Chains A and B, each alone.
Chain A
Amino acid sequence: MLIFQEKDLFFQALHPAATLAYLAVIVAGAVTLCHPLFLLALFIPVFTALAASGGLDDWFQKARFFFALIAMLALINILINRLGGTVLLYGPVLPGLGRITVTLETLVFALVMGFRLLTVFTAFMLYNRTVNPDRALSMFAKLFPRSALLVALATKTIPYLLRKLQSAGEIAQCRGANFHTGSLFTRIKNRLPLIRVLLISSLEDSFNIGESIQARAYGSGSRTSYFRHRWRFGDTLIFIASFFALSIIILSLGRGWGGYSFYPYLEKIIISPHQAAVLPALFVMLMIPALLAWGWNKWNFLRWKI
């Protein structure tokens, strides 16, 4: 049921802190940088990493949802924005919005923002595919032990409750309840008693869980904790690459190299030699983990070394 599936992948073999650092740098870069080439330098590595983790089929399946959201945001930008100088099309006059004018600058801005959203989505798809929730949770359990227990309990309860809901539904159907005929409203109304049954029985069970964890001396003293995953050479490599990528992003933001002026007219894509220097550096740093993931699949020697 969980989105995460255990597979033989480079990013799954890493320490969760290393994978999280890499993804956090990509998301932070994507939401702060707005230069199209910088966004491309973030997207290509994360897309390659996802491809190396076997997530492309899933990406293309969800592409319809991504592009619907991107199209909606593009439409909002086109309808609202009046800052562009190169008018491509004069549209109709809409109440409350005035005359709609489609400008080249707004169109490019909408496309770049769509690309930014795509980069963030791809990074999260890589997260869902590669970060084991159990291991990530146990990493935070040292700082948030009670919250980690709360999340772990809730996570294990969802599939259990789903099975219970199904069996309660079958019992109700045996007793004459009808869930599949009538209007949508009737069908939903017929299912409401199931929520009541589930609420009572699950809360009853929760008391048993509470007594059970108390019987195992939960909360009786300081808690022992350990994290069994070792920090390996591959983790150090990913961490260093992510650190340098983050430094480049911060430097680019501080000096204004990562920005891009869309209005009133589009500025030149590369305006300074500094941008031309930091851009490939950022790309290379972020490509290192993606290439390692690819090499991990292809080259046993590399798998052994990292």
Chain B
Amino acid sequence: MSTTYLSLFSLIMAVTALAAVYLWYERRRIAPAEIAVIATLAALAGLGRVPFAAVPGLQPTTFLVLVCGHVFGPVAGFLVGSTAAFTSNLFLGQGPWTPWQMLAWGLAGVCGGVIFRKKKMFPRWFFAGMGFIWGFVFGWIMNFWHWITFVYPLTIQSFIATILAGIGFDFMHAMSNALFMVFLGPEAAEILRRFKRRLSFYPISEKTVQGKKED
């Protein structure tokens, strides 16, 4: 049954994609404060999963990842989302779901970073809609591996059946994303923007000061 190779192949592809992004991040010049901010945001996003772990789907993680992506850009959004998934699973338990969660939340960060990136605005209802959609997209990405590994035949019908099996959790996730976005979205975006502005201030070097004096 050749379809079973798809499972390992997809798992390898997911891990390779994650490794490629982290390797690319390694080669960028990045200020220590930026690493600390990304780590803190990832911890905050991951923390949201721990107290709400008993209620599947209800957590502010996707909401925070989307807002981080919107404010700090797609790369930071991806790193916040994927690191949040990995670190929170150190407390909740790693499993075959870890690479898919890392990828799904990472892509949510990229999505938040790509849309409305240039405009310094936060359309609350648009982002609420995006959070709602991401509640379902996240579920589909998570179900994908289960579908190709444990279900046969791999048809649209069987994929829809796999999605429908978890639709309740996905709906809960989508609703919580939309609600967090409506009640906290603009404020969270404003707070993050303020810290982003602070990140872009660097200590003035002596050379710059001397240059100014000469002028």
Contacts and interface: CB of A to CB of B under 8 A. Distances in A.
Interface of A: 1-4, 27-28, 31-34, 72-73, 75-77, 79-81, 83, 96-97, 109, 113-114, 116-117, 120-121, 124-125, 127-128, 133, 144-147, 149-151, 153-155, 157-158, 161-162, 165, 188-189, 192, 195-196, 198-200, 202-203, 205-207, 209-211, 213-214, 218-219, 259-262
Interface stretch (B84-92, B107-115, B116-124): B84-92
Given A31-B11, A73-B146, A158 B36 contact: no
Interface in B71-110: 79, 83-84, 86-88, 90-96
Nearest to A79: B161
Nearest to B55: A184
B40 A206 contact: yes
Contacts of B41: 203, 206
Contacts of B34: 210
Interface in B16-30: 22-23, 25-26, 30
User: How big is chain B's contact interface, by range?
Assistant: 35 or more
Interface of B: 1, 4-5, 7-8, 11, 22-23, 25-26, 30-44, 46-47, 50-51, 60, 79, 83-84, 86-88, 90-96, 146, 149-153, 155, 157-158, 161-162, 165, 179-180, 183-184, 187-188, 191-192, 195, 198
B32 A3 contact: no
9 contacts: A4-B90, A72-B165, A79-B161, A80-B151, A81-B158, A151-B86, A195-B188, A202-B40, A213-B32
Given A114-B150, A188-B179, 9 more contacts: A3-B90, A121-B95, A124-B95, A150-B39, A155-B43, A206-B37, A209-B40, A210-B36, A214-B33
